A and B are shown apart, each in its own frame.
Chain A
Amino acid sequence: MPYRHRTTTLAGVALSAAALALATACSAADPVAEADFYLDLSDDPMAASATELATLDGDPWGFTDVADDRLTLLFFGYTSCPDVCPMTMAEVDLALDGAGDAAGAYDVVMVSTDPARDTAEQLRSWLDRFDPSFHGIRGDVDATVEAARDYGIAIDPPEETEGQYLVTHGGRVVVLLPGGEAAGMFDEGAEADQIASLLPALADTLL
């Protein structure tokens, strides 16, 4: 069966990180404000999604269940993705390696946008390639779409038409506060050294 992936952007949040960084820049010494690859929402965080999904053990899981003493890097993706999803997880993994002690202040969660094929076993095996401590979350596909949209990430349910299986993924990596609110987002394509450069400052200011 042929498969295809695509990335979409929700028009309502298509505001570029660069533009917002300019609007919120406060001082030249603030690496978060200066970064043109990061959308800082800390002045007015997006509310936590109320959607219920599940852990890979099958236990109920909501976005307010993220670690209460750490920040969470959240990505919506799928394991059969040919490029963006594995590349994003690899960049996040490398960023944490390069962030020194600050890495301990972060969890990583990937929510599957293809839960029918991303079984718990498949998702666990795929995430283990990057880091066994990365968390996989899956659930009803419509609930997943709703959760992503709650964070301004536009995805659609996998679609099968004329033998084509179309799956979408997010692009940005969302920084969640311990209560599940979104305090910021790394742009799609942000590289490991860029992400790593902000992790200490984000942990210092947001925790």
Chain B
Amino acid sequence: MRRRTDHANGPSRRNLLTATGAAGLAGLAVGAGAGHALADRRLGEEIEHALAPARSRAGARDGMPPALRSPTPSQVQLVAVDLRADAGEPTREAARRVLRTWGREIRALHEQGLHTRVEGAPTQGLLPASLGITLGLGASLLDRAGAGDRIPPHMEEIPAFATDRLEPAWCGGDLLLHVAAEDPVVASSAVGHLVGAVAGDVRPRWSLPGFQRSAAAADDPTATPRNLMGQIDGTVNPRSSDPLFGPQVLAAHPEPSLAWMDGGSYLVVRRIRMLLDDWYSLDPGDREAVIGRRLSTGAPLGGGAEDDLPDLAAAGEDGEPVIPRDAHIRLASPENTLGARMLRRGYSYDLGWDAGGHRQAGLIFTAWQADPRTGFTPVQRALDEGGDALHPYVRHEGSALFAVPPVRDGDPWAAHDLFPG
């Protein structure tokens, strides 16, 4: 199988360090001065690499919204809103106003930054920070706008699972803003600006800020990040340059009525609280058995490297499977889910402790796919019905499904086919 490569990401820090070591040896042979110069240059390259996400501008590319680009910025804010308007034509008009306003403002934020739009904005003096804003539409919006016949069957409601502990206030939404940036001030102020710009038309339903490790703090900024449980989270994700990316992530809708989503992606959002005290009371070996991967490297149990294919048939000397029968990766594997696949993007959240002394921290799990019926849903069903060993340590408390339309050149706003004007 072909190995994933993404030349756009440049060399990894690990490679740079290796090269630095070799250069250092060469430097000894030709003199300390030359060695220092070379080491300084390598250090400069490392710093450049770490700062690249802060200095970059994001935005859509090749029709894909910024949320699908990689590497992902370290900060994210998700805000789901409902329209205030009554059903029917008032909702259609309100949707058009909101999408028009957001289309204009998002373009300006991507290209120029907030401080060029708002005098005294908190982003003054900050770099672009890879600010990327992605819009999603909920089925409830189309339904209330009288466009039920244009809801793709892919948006059928996610079934209830026995292990769900959903809070209705943290579910659903007419529209979603997914705002990511390498800096929390850039992300937060963009969200405030966008919601404020349409405040007369929308009512926030739920919101959640999330984060990953920053590129500057990462030993290897290209490595798969870890979640709050300490697991490497996001292995096996396709790069946008992989042949499987399109069939796995991007929707195909040749039907004219659904053309507004042709080339888009369906986003499932799950708010998953982690019971971190319980988790860390387990021995490290037991934590590895729950997931089926090594904590240190992310390699599947029995394997040697993160990208190794899990050997689900491997047995130990005791005859028991090396990857336990209820391990998370076994139950979620394509072999166990009739080939279900999705692009998984996890962000941690940490809201501190609530009044009852419970820590409100966990994972904003975002799953991007061509069709949730052959992506998230069968995987979650397999975990639910298979007795996922991870279940005692997590609570699914929020859930939503959004259609994320493609970003088309020339269209003044997202889903323009659906809400023209």
Interface residues of A (CB under 8 A from B): 1-5, 79-84, 86-87, 89-91, 93-94, 117, 122, 125-126, 128-130, 132, 164-166, 189, 191-192
Q: B380: CB under 8 A from chain A? A: no
Given contacts A2-B313, A87-B1, A87-B244, contact A81 B339 (CB under 8 A): yes
Contact B312 A2 (CB under 8 A): yes
Given contacts A2-B313, A3-B336, A81-B339, contact A86 B244 (CB under 8 A): yes
Beyond the given A80-B334, A90-B244, could you list 14 further A-B residue pairs with CB under 8 A, ordered by the A residue number? A1-B336, A4-B311, A80-B335, A82-B334, A82-B335, A83-B1, A83-B309, A89-B247, A90-B242, A128-B252, A129-B252, A129-B371, A132-B252, A164-B312
Q: B272: CB under 8 A from chain A? A: no
Expressed in whole angstroms, the minimum distance between the Cβ of B190 and any Cβ of chain A is 34
State which of B243, B325, B338 has its C-beta within 8 Å of the C-beta of A122: B338
Contact A129 B370 (CB under 8 A): yes
**Count, chain B residues at interface, CB 8 A:** 28
Expressed in whole angstroms, the minimum distance between the Cβ of B390 and any Cβ of chain A is 17
State which of B1, B246, B248, B341 has its C-beta within 8 Å of the C-beta of A84: B1
Given contacts A4-B312, A90-B244, A192-B243, contact A82 B333 (CB under 8 A): yes
* 7 A-B pairs (CB sep. < 8 Å): A2-B312, A2-B325, A3-B336, A84-B1, A126-B338, A189-B2, A192-B243
Q: B321: CB under 8 A from chain A? A: yes
A122 to B325, CA, bound (A): 25
Expressed in whole angstroms, the minimum distance between the Cβ of B313 and any Cβ of chain A is 4
Chain A residues, Cβ within 8 Å of B252? 128-129, 132
Given contacts A3-B335, A90-B247, contact A129 B374 (CB under 8 A): yes
A9 to B243, CA, bound (A): 25
A79 to B333, CA, bound (A): 12
Expressed in whole angstroms, the minimum distance between the Cβ of B63 and any Cβ of chain A is 15
Contact A86 B247 (CB under 8 A): yes
Given contacts A2-B325, A94-B243, contact A81 B334 (CB under 8 A): yes
Expressed in whole angstroms, the minimum distance between the Cβ of B258 and any Cβ of chain A is 14
Chain B residues, Cβ within 8 Å of A132? 252, 254
A2 to B2, CA, bound (A): 25
Point out which of A90, A122, A126, A166 has the most chain B C-beta atoms below 10 A from its C-beta: A90
A78 to B210, CA, bound (A): 38
A128 to B325, CA, bound (A): 31
Interface residues of B in 344-380 (CB under 8 A from A): 370-371, 374
A89 to B321, CA, bound (A): 31
Chain A's closest residue to B254 (CB) is: A132
Chain A residues, Cβ within 8 Å of B244? 86-87, 90
0 or 1 for each of B320-341: is its CB under 8 Å from A? (1 = yes): 0100010000100111111101
Given contacts A2-B325, A4-B312, contact A91 B243 (CB under 8 A): yes
Chain A residues, Cβ within 8 Å of B309? 82-83
Expressed in whole angstroms, the minimum distance between the Cβ of A9 and any Cβ of chain B is 16
Point out which of B244, B321, B325, B333 has the most chain A C-beta atoms below 10 A from its C-beta: B244
A65 to B235, CA, bound (A): 42
Chain A residues, Cβ within 8 Å of B371? 129
